[in-house]
Every structure is written in C-alpha cells, then in structure tokens.
Chains A and B, each alone.
Chain A
Amino acid sequence: MTNHGAGRTLAEKVWDQHLVRKAEGSEPDLLYIDLHLVHEVTSPQAFDGLRLAGRTVRRPDLTLATEDHNVPTLDVLAPIADPVSRTQVETLRRNCAEFGVPLYPMNHAEQGIVHVVGPQLGLTQPGLTVVCGDSHTSTHGAFGALAFGIGTSEVEHVLATQTLPLNRFKTMAINVNSSDGTLRPGVTSKDVVLAMIAQIGTGGGQGYVLEYRGNVIENLSMEARMTICNMSIEAGARAGMIAPDDTTFAYLKGRDHAPSGAAWDEAVAAWRGLRTDDEAVFDAEIHIDADALTPFVTWGTNPGQGLPLSENVPDPARIIDENERVAAEKALTYMGLQAGTPLRKITVDTVFVGSCTNGRIEDLRAAAKILDGHKVADGVRMLVVPGSMRVRAQAEQEGLDKVFTAAGAEWRSAGCSMCLGMNPDQLAPGERSASTSNRNFEGRQGKGGRTHLVSPLVAAATAVRGTLSSPEDLR
C-alpha cells in the first residue's frame, strides 16, 4: 500500500491501526492479528511446531477452532469412517484441549464452516485483522475487516505471537453501480463476483486488496456481501473488503460476541471512520455496469471461465491470446463440452447448494423459494448442505428443510462437503454439477467431476429442469 497523499483507503487504515512495528529497511511490517480461525486440515503441523519448540498459544482467547473440511454430513453421530479425516479431526481436538483453544466440534450447535461461524457469532467485526489457514478467509472482509488466508508456518507464527510479518499490499477499487442501485431480478451477488472474475481474470487481483464500492454494493445484505468478498481470492487477490455501514451494524447488533451497551456506541463511532477517504487514490480501479448483468455460470475449469447463462459454450478458436486458447481447449475437453452449445442445454447430474460462498440462511431461503412446489428433475441428485449448524437450525425453524425434502433434495448436516470432496460427498468421474461453491478446478468436487459454478437461484432452477437454468425458465 503506497501512500498517494493525504487520503487513505479503508485497507490502509486497518493496516495502520495494527502496526506493532513498522518496517526497517527490507524487513516487513509486523501486524497484530485480532482474530485467528483454525480448522483441522492446516493446523496440525502448526501445533506440532509449537510443541517441538516448547511454545504456547499467546492468545487462545483470540483463537477459535471448528471442524469443517473433513466432516461427514450424514450419520454425524457415528465415528468418521475415513481414517485420515478421523485422525485430523481427533488431532484438532487434542491440540485445542492441550493449548486451551476454544473449539466447536461436530454436532455442537455452533459447529460449521469457519467462514460462516465467525460472522454469525459476531466475532467478525469492522476494522479487525482476521486470518485463517484457508484462502477463503477473504469472506470476513465483508464487514470491513482485513482478512486473508495464510500457510501452515504462518498459522504457527500467529499462534505463538498473535502477529504476522507482512509486506504491504496494493489496493484496487471494484466499483459496482447500476442506475437505481439494485440488481435485475434473478441476479445475485454471486453473479456480480463471477462477472468480476471473468473481467479481470484469475490473476487480475494478484498482490491487491480489493475494495468493493458503489451503489449496488451499498444496497446488498451482509450475506450477499460475504459471497462477493469470499470469491476475491479466485481473482488472485489477497483480500476483499467492503466499508462498514448501517447494514453491517444492524447485522452485528445483539450477536453473541458483538459489543453491547456503551461499548456498542463506542464501537459504532469507531466503525464509522472505517471508510476510504475521498482524497485517497487506489493503485488500480475497475468498473462493473450492473444494469447489464444477468445470471452468470462458468463453463470451464477455473472461476474466470464464465459467461452469462444466455450465451453459448465459447469457441476456443476465436480466442486470440494463445495461453487462454489452450486453456479453453483443455477445459472444454475436461468438461466434455462442444463449442457453440447453448449453456442452457447443458444437463447436470448433481446440484450442490452450500459452502462458505453460498451456504448461509439467505442462500437457502432463495433456493427454497424457487424450489417450492416443484420437484427435482428425474436423474438429478440435489444436496443442500447448510454452512453451519446454526443455519441448519434456523432453516428447519422456517420449514425450509421440508421444502427441500418435498422437492426430492437431500438435507444434510453442516460442513464443507462437496465444495472440495474431502468427505464422502463427491462427484463420480464424468459427473456434472451445478454448484454454489467457489472452485471449478479439475477434480475439485471428486476425481473427474465437472463443475459449473452458479448462484443459489440458478442452482435451484437447474435442479428442477435438469439443465442449466435461471428462475425465469420456470415460468
């Protein structure tokens, strides 16, 4: 983050507020970490490193662990069948007990995907620095926090010191505006972020912290903002942020870990200052015309290979850039698609609604609303996996589970599930899914599986018709 003059961006303000030591010479800055989220896959060696060096966790009270990546979403009371998954989960439990780190294990009412749990508990707050050994930590930026994923050595570093040595990032503004500040019917924040990634590419955000701004962003709910920030990493960015406002404060008020009484007023006063100054200059800036946005789907094997649903599978021969052309050819072969096929004609075997991108209550409500009164198409399997046990309980209270099961979908327990297929929820080779998750990499949802990334609305409509569809196709 280079300083361009008097004004500072939101990211720069949060950075400056967390400087334990400013860089001297080529040394990096040392930043304080307010919240460290931990899960079973990237933490075992970090705890082991502490043990070998005879170190402790400096601030267990700023650290929170949950089990998510490996956990089964069926038969959650039985022991985990896969030995590797079971070992990782058991190791996390032992480590948390030994080092005094709070843990929400499987079956606990607060268990869930780390990036769903932090916000719903009110732990994720404006202006905090948040890290986790997981790239989608960018989700928490929706609250105006500076939140990013780290590697196992860094996990150990934060456990031991509650700080991280870091080099400054650059800043990029992503301006999303429409004539009246809303998205067209059937268009969601997932479509906004898929369109953004298609525009700047999977490497377009490299080295940057993105700040999403503009009238469309201001009118989005917190959950919709989280979906956008979540996928910042798919554009290669270090983090994504949105300035906190009344929507943010309303979401936080009354949550378990949110401040209350006089502390609440003090917090809101401080949070209101967390905005990019008018005079601040971003290192880069892009614009998205939201009036032109329609439901978006991916056709290839990276999140940047996406198009409006109304288009056809692209013809690689027409792609000028050689690398992109080769990538497109490979992607079409892997995906088993023919250039020129209308995207709406693509049939799917599986529909997955869930993940830290779209596994929150609003996402489930949106999908249920489309599904209500319809049946999942013959030969299509639909999995609905809430992002947390709390989301699951809320959905059941609202009767959403009944809507899903009545339509023929499977209603599961909370976890990452088919987002990455580390648990038994996987695609078989050659199977095709419409998925509300965030990565369509080869084999991500199971070896040989083919993934189309979509919004919850498109996922539900696709489940009903059996081909990639938007809600308007159901009319």
Chain B
Amino acid sequence: MEPFTTHTGIGVPLRRSNVDTDQIIPAVYLKRVTRTGFADGLFSAWRADESFVLNIEPFSRGSVLVAGPDFGTGSSREHAVWALMDYGFRVVISSRFADIFRGNSAKQGLIAAQVTQPDVELLWKLLENEPGTEVTVDLREKTVQAKDLTVGFEIDDYTRWRLLEGLDDIGLTLRHTDDIAAFEAGRPARLPVTTPVR
C-alpha cells in the first residue's frame, strides 16, 4: 500500500444518504476473478441515468466523493471498496460511515473521512456551484480544503497511522517478518509439506 499524506482531486457531490453496498456494486458484478475491473459496476444502476453526477463532466474524472450520512451500509462485500478505488476514488467524505465499510476501506487504503453534515452541505454547494473544484485532503492535518473552505475530519488514530505509513494488514504483519522467520526456524522438521510425494 502506498503511504497516504495528501491527495488533491476533483470533488464529486453525491447528494444521497444511506448509499448501501448493493448500490455501490450490485451482486451481479461479484463473479469476477480479479480485484480490479469493478469500475464498470460502480453505482451501475444510477449510472444508467444520464443526469447522474458521474455521467457529467468534469465530475466523471473525480477522485474525492462527498456523500450523505450512512455511506456503505448493507452487505459486507469487500468489492464495494475495490470498485470505488478502481474507478479512481481515493477519498470518500461523509458524515457517517457503516462500520464494516470503514474497516474494509482501511484495509485497502481508501480514506473514509468523517465530517459534520453541515460541512458536507457546504462542500456540496461549493462543488455544485463550481464544477471541477479541486479538493485537498490532508491526512497529517486531518483537514479537507476546497477553495477558501477548510474543515476538519475525523479518522481513528490507528487507521491514520497505518495509512500515513502505507501499512495494510499484510504490510503490518510483514514488519514482524523476523518473528515469523524465528518461529519457522523452531518448527519441527517432521511437520508436513504439500510438495507432491509422487
């Protein structure tokens, strides 16, 4: 995972609350064998509507999603985060996230930045009035800035530390590679290996 310090990109106002993972990526897209390629399925039902925000330039090139409360509810599918990232999103801003979605985001390096609902409203207005406005998300300072609006966001300290260091779960465990190697050195030689014997 790449360390994350700041990101600047076009902000996308998604004026909806309770965006569940079935909306983010419908079940029919789950049969793929890769973790990439889910971009097509992102919000696929809504994207059928021409007026949907992601069908409008310059929002279609956005990388910071600003959504209403209770983002990422519903099924625990990891694919929802894969789809958002595959489309190009690096940050989702919302006034409340579903726990599992927040956990899955942290695993994959998508920033789930929680701000107050009044701040979401301010961002929505700004992005709608001036489409293409860039939003800068600073993880060190825990701030979201667009034009002359700067608001603070919340993210738990452990996740913030991991993301700043660029450590996914696997990366964290790999910091203990010496411990793993030491454990392996102590394993009895009689333990089985899977290499075919005939």
Which residue numbers of A lie inside 8 Å of B, CB to CB?
20-21, 30, 32, 34-35, 44-45, 48-49, 52-53, 55, 58, 60-64, 84, 87-88, 91, 102, 110, 122-123, 125, 128, 151-153, 156-157, 160-163, 165, 256-259, 263, 266-267, 270
Contact = CB atoms under 8 A, between A and B. Distances in A.
Contacts of A161: 170, 173-174, 177, 180
Interface string B18-35: 000000000000011111
Contact of B190 (A32, A151, A165, A266): A266
A45 B30 CA distance: 11
Contact of A63 (B82, B189, B194): B194
Interface string B176-197: 1101100110011111111111
Interface residues of B, number: 34
Q: Identify the 3 closest CB pairs spanning chains A and B, nearest first.
A: A44-B33, A64-B194, A263-B190
Given A44-B34, A84-B31, A257-B197, A153 B192 contact: no
Contact of B191 (A34, A156, A163): A34
Interface of B: 1, 31-36, 78, 82, 107, 168-170, 172-174, 176-177, 179-180, 183-184, 187-198
Nearest to B192: A257
Contacts of A30: 173, 176, 179
B194 A61 contact: yes
B92 to A, nearest CB: 19
A146 B174 CA distance: 23
26 contacts: A20-B176, A20-B179, A20-B180, A30-B179, A32-B180, A32-B184, A45-B33, A48-B34, A55-B170, A62-B194, A91-B33, A122-B192, A125-B192, A128-B192, A151-B78, A152-B78, A157-B173, A160-B174, A161-B174, A162-B180, A165-B169, A257-B193, A258-B192, A259-B192, A263-B190, A266-B188
A168 to B, nearest CB: 18
Contacts of B194: 35, 60-64, 102, 123, 257
A22 to B, nearest CB: 10
Chain A CB count within 10 A is highest, among B174, B184, B190, B197, for B190
A160 B171 CA distance: 9
A340 B152 CA distance: 64
Nearest to B171: A53
Contact of B193 (A48, A61, A91, A162): A61
A280 to B, nearest CB: 24
B192 A35 contact: yes
A30 B178 CA distance: 13
Contact of A88 (B1, B33, B78, B82): B33
Contacts of B183: 20, 32
Given A20-B183, A156-B170, A157-B173, A48 B190 contact: no
B84 to A, nearest CB: 15
A91 B194 CA distance: 20
